[in-house]
Amino acid sequence: MTLPPAAVSAAAPPAPPRRRRRRRLVIALVTIPLAVIVLLVGAAGIWFATNAVRATPPPAGTLDFSAPLAVPPLAPSRVEHGVRVFELTPQEGSSSFVTGGETPTLGYDGAYLGPTIVAQRGETVRVDVTNGLSDPTTVHWHGMHLPAAMDGGPSSPIAPGATWHPEWTIDQPAATLWYHPHLHERTREQVDAGLAGMFLVRDDEESALPLPREYGVDDFPVIVQDRSFHSDGSFAGGLGMQFDGVLGDTILVNGTVAPYLEVGTERVRLRLLNGSSARMYDLAFADGRPFDLIATDGGLLEEPVRATDIPLSPGERAEIVVAMSPGERVVLRSQAPDPALHAGWAAFDVMELRAAASLTPSPEVPTRLASLPAADDADAATERTFVMSGHSINDREMDLGRADVVATVGTSEVWTVRNGNPLPHSFHVHDTQFRILSVDGAPPPPRLAGFKDTIALEGEREYRLLVRFEDYADPTTPYMYHCHLLWHEDQGMMGQFLVVEPAQRPDLKRPEGDTDDRHDH
């Protein structure tokens, strides 16, 4: 009910002086803090805005491409009693990225990143990981189907000086996987410092196809990361920490700033990995040339997808084959991404491909690559919903002592994953390669029709995933699912799942020394 103005003034006789003074005091008590809040919010806005500017790479067309692209070495191995054995040593080092000074970095067997591990489907592999850091770490094999005890999640820390010996049999199609630390609440810090490497799985089916496959010749790892630097050359880790975490203003590819890659063949295969902790890319060639998308996270697509761009959120991989003409140069850039994922970014350059004056012929990309089982949810054992919001999943934060999901070995489940925020998240599941059944009720685009272990979640959208738990029942050791924006993951946007035998009781124990401090306050 509203009173006419006259009625209001008639009903409120002039206040006596004391009440008037008190009213002034009340007004002051309300306005002064309000003004301070407005000023603080304004200052924070300016701070965020300037940081956002700082964290934006130079606009497309301005990089000089002065350094040859580093290609990580292949990891050496030996065969012991039928087991292919690799050794990996996370260690401290320093790298030359910028002119201000050396950057203290971490790497596996070197100063930054790690060697590329290659193994064949059917082989049993062991990786002896000796922690040469002064902090604990873990090594997680992202995308690998393997027992939970070998998965290298936060419940498998390796103490400084200790050696961990995970061993498993490679049992999945040829794919571009990767490895990185997964230390509880400290993944971003260790990955951003340089701990990451590629793990390539080969198999007979893929090897029989006429595709570029010679590592470092016509088949290249392309690990894309963004970093910012202090003037002394050290990484600027905490600056620009926004909703997503850290965005850098300098793009590194395989640890090289502004790289060029000399190409000697008519076609090259690029194994693209978004190894950044928060940034989303939409990779495309500057001249708009189409390329063939041949594989996603879990391996080959059924047929190549002709595309002019490929969006990649942190942790995702894509294999593309691009054709080159003799003597030409073309820039791979990240164009302004899908506005649903991230608004307002200008295009920026990533690397340049330089074709030799004469190129070795490459065969055409085959029209048929693989046959994938139909993504059919008819006999899914159960359906679950995961709402990704803020820094939690279904309003819960990561708890090392809690199994959020218990799945039965040999079954499939439908996981409906919804981004409850207008801002981007992503979703990654350990152990298994899933299929996307639908995006907001519609079938996925062809580029998302293959095996995936990580997907970008656009704001407010819903994704139905078909997740299969093929084997490796273990009632005590969990796998993880989480947002792969590493800062979100560290903030607790992660859950744990156990895979058990039918009717087996889950028996997850809180790791020794874990205090579950997040839930104590």
| Beta strands 411-419 and 382-389, pairing class | parallel
Q: How far is the CB of 315 from ligand C2O (least distance, A)?
A: 5
Tell me phi and psi for residue 114, to 5 degrees.
-150, 170
Residue 483 touches which of Cu ion, ligand C2O, none (Cβ within 5-8 Å per kind): Cu ion
Decide which of ligand C2O, Cu ion, none touches 488; Cβ closer than 5 to 8 Å per partner kind: Cu ion
> By C-beta, is 305 or 400 nearer to Cu ion?
400
CA distance 485 to 42: 27
E-state strands within 390-519? 392-393, 405-408, 411-419, 425-429, 435-439, 454-457, 462-469, 474-482, 494-500
Among 84, 140, 145, 464, binds ligand C2O (CB under 6 A): 140
84 binds ligand C2O (CB under 6 A): no
Residue 315 touches which member of ligand C2O, Cu ion, none, C-beta under 5-8 Å by kind: ligand C2O
Tell whether residue 237 is a contact of ligand C2O (CB under 6 A).
no
121 near ligand C2O, judged by CB under 6 A? no
By beta-carbon proximity to ligand C2O, the closer residue of 282 and 316 is: 316
Q: Which tokens go with 133?
A: 């850091």
Report how far residue 152's alpha carbon sits from residue 179's, in angstroms, rounded to the nearest whole number. Answer: 9
What is the torsional sign of CA 424, 498, 318, 351?
Answer: positive
Near ligand C2O by CB under 6 A: residue from 121, 142, 227, 435: 142
Q: Which stretch binds ligand C2O (CB under 6 A): 55-63, 236-244, 386-394, 479-487?
A: 479-487
Answer yes or no whether residue 188 interacts with ligand C2O by CB under 6 A: no
* Other beta carbons less than 10 A from residue 156's beta carbon: 20
Nearest approach in angstroms of CB 479 to ligand C2O is 9
Examine residue 430 and tell whether it contacts ligand C2O (CB under 6 A). yes
**Would you count residue 145 as binding Cu ion (CB under 5 A)?**
no
Distance CA 64, CA 351 (A): 10
Q: Does 480 bind ligand C2O (CB under 6 A)?
A: yes
One-letter-per-residue 3-state SS of 388-422: EECCEECCECCCCCCCCEEEECCEEEEEEEEECCC
The number of residues that bind ligand C2O (CB under 6 A) is 10
Sequence-separated (6 or more) residues with CB below 8 Å from residue 156:
138, 149, 164
* Sites of contact with Cu ion (CB under 5 A): 142, 425, 430, 483, 485, 488
* Sites of contact with ligand C2O (CB under 6 A): 140, 142, 180, 182, 315, 428, 430, 480, 482, 484
